[in-house]
Each structure stands twice: as structure tokens, then as C-alpha cells.
Amino acid sequence: MRRNTVAGNWKMNTNREEGNKLSSEIINMAGSELNSEVDLILIPPFTHAFEVQKLATGNKNIYVGAQNCHFEDSGAFTGEVSPIMLKGINLSHVVLGHSERREIFNESNETIKKKVDAVLKHNLTPIFCCGEPLGIREKGTQNAYVSSQIEESLFHLSKLDFEKIIIAYEPIWAIGTGLTASPLQAQEMHREIRSMIAKKYGTETAQNISILYGGSVKPDNAKELFACEDVDGGLVGGASLKSRGFVDIAKSF
């Protein structure tokens, strides 16, 4: 079901104490200020995800996710974390295919496809990231670029499994740069993604998938972005590290 959602990706930031403080502040503010139509997802580093999850337990519409995972349940994969480990500490969501994983760690569409399958197998919700670099945007081929990411990593899924996914469109040129896609640019790509889904799985499925915008979302631009017809919220990076700003973003619907 399509939901208004704001997910905070903390990336490699905060230690245990800082993460607990940030989570507590967000949870306390959200409890008194947010309506039931908005879901919040906190996505801390692995080292304190368990404690953040405990803090969030019992708070309606507040979830805790992971920033990545491996596609195997166990094995000789030093430094990796499996979906079954995430399930074991009651996490609910996993970010997959983030641009930093694609660009810095060379994750391919095929690798992300395997991760999507593994996450769904353990009844976790993938937050599937897609988006184009600046060179692709300047050539005007962003639709084909994003289409290939989605087709190669998601379109093997059954309709039932596809409907369990959240998609996050993140123009790579607008991540951590201070640049932001205009509301028109964001809406155009979100509409295009929904159109791709409709052609594959039907209009009803396309209309029920939440598609988030990720790319320098801040309190001062969230309202205009979230007002777009096909934008259902945000995957927030740096602004999610400030409790007041993050909750203000979630109040922008």
C-alpha cells in the first residue's frame, strides 16, 4: 500500500551514544507531532541498529532498517551482514543499491537483484535505490538509465513480491552536493518510474508503490517536493542527522 514515508539514512555517521540520543529525540518528537499517515524509517549504522530498534519498539509507524546486506544467509564473507542477521534483531527494512554502494563498492544490477531476492526471502522490505549520474542527465538519457536499473534488478519478481518494495529515486548529482532536482524534475522521473511499473505489473500495482525522492532533501525544500503527485516522501541523508530538521521534513506532507 502506498504510504507517505520519510527514511533517514545516517550513512557512516554517529557513534552508539550519539545514535541513541538522535533516535530518542526523533521518536519523542514524532510521537507528539506526526500524524498516522506518515511512516518514519531510521537507518543507523550496523553497530547500533539493535539499540535503535529497541528504542523504536512500540512506537506506531516508526521502523528501523539497515543500510545494506549480503545476499547469502551465512558463510565466509568477512565483514558482511546477512538478511537473517538483520531479521534476528527485528529490523524491518534494508536499503539496497544506494548510489554509494554502486559507485564506491562497484555493486552491479545483478548483485543488487540477488540482494533483493535475499531480503524478500526473509520478509524484510527492500528500499531499492535508482538514479542517474550528472553525465547521463546532461545527455538526456536518464529515463533509459533508470529503466535499466529497475528492469535488471526488479522485473524478475512476481507481482506479489514486487508490491512489497519501496523505490527511492536518487539523482546522483544531487547527493551531498547541495544541488537538488527541481520539483518538476523529481515529478517527471517519479511519473516515469510509475509508468514503467504500470507497463510491467499493471496500473493498480504502480499506483500502490511508494516512490521516495532522495537527493539533498531538507526542511526548506521538502514541502514542495512532497507536493508532487508521484513523490511519496524522501530518503534523507545529511538532514536526518538533526532530529528537529528530520521531523520537520516528515511534517511536510
What are the grid coordinates assigned to 151, written together? 528492469
Nearest to 95 by CA among 69, 63, 58, 56: 69
Which residue among 48, 93, 170, 190 is the active-site one?
170
36 SS3 class: coil
Distance, in Å, from the CA atom of 130 to the CA atom of 151, rounded to the nearest integer, reads 11
Longest dimension (CA), the chain: 48
Residue 190 a catalytic site member = no
Find the distance separating the first CA and the last CA of the chain, reported in whole Å.
Answer: 17
Residue 110 a catalytic site member = no
Which residue among 48, 98, 100, 190 is the active-site one?
98
Distance, in Å, from the CA atom of 166 to the CA atom of 251, rounded to the nearest integer, reads 20
Distance, in Å, from the CA atom of 184 to the CA atom of 224, rounded to the nearest integer, reads 10
Nearest to 63 by CA among 13, 120, 8: 8
What are the grid coordinates assigned to 133, written together? 549520474
**DSSP characters over 179-235:** ----HHHHHHHHHHHHHHHHHHH-HHHHHHS-EEE-SS--HHHHHHHHTSTT--EEE
Positions marked active-site: 98, 170
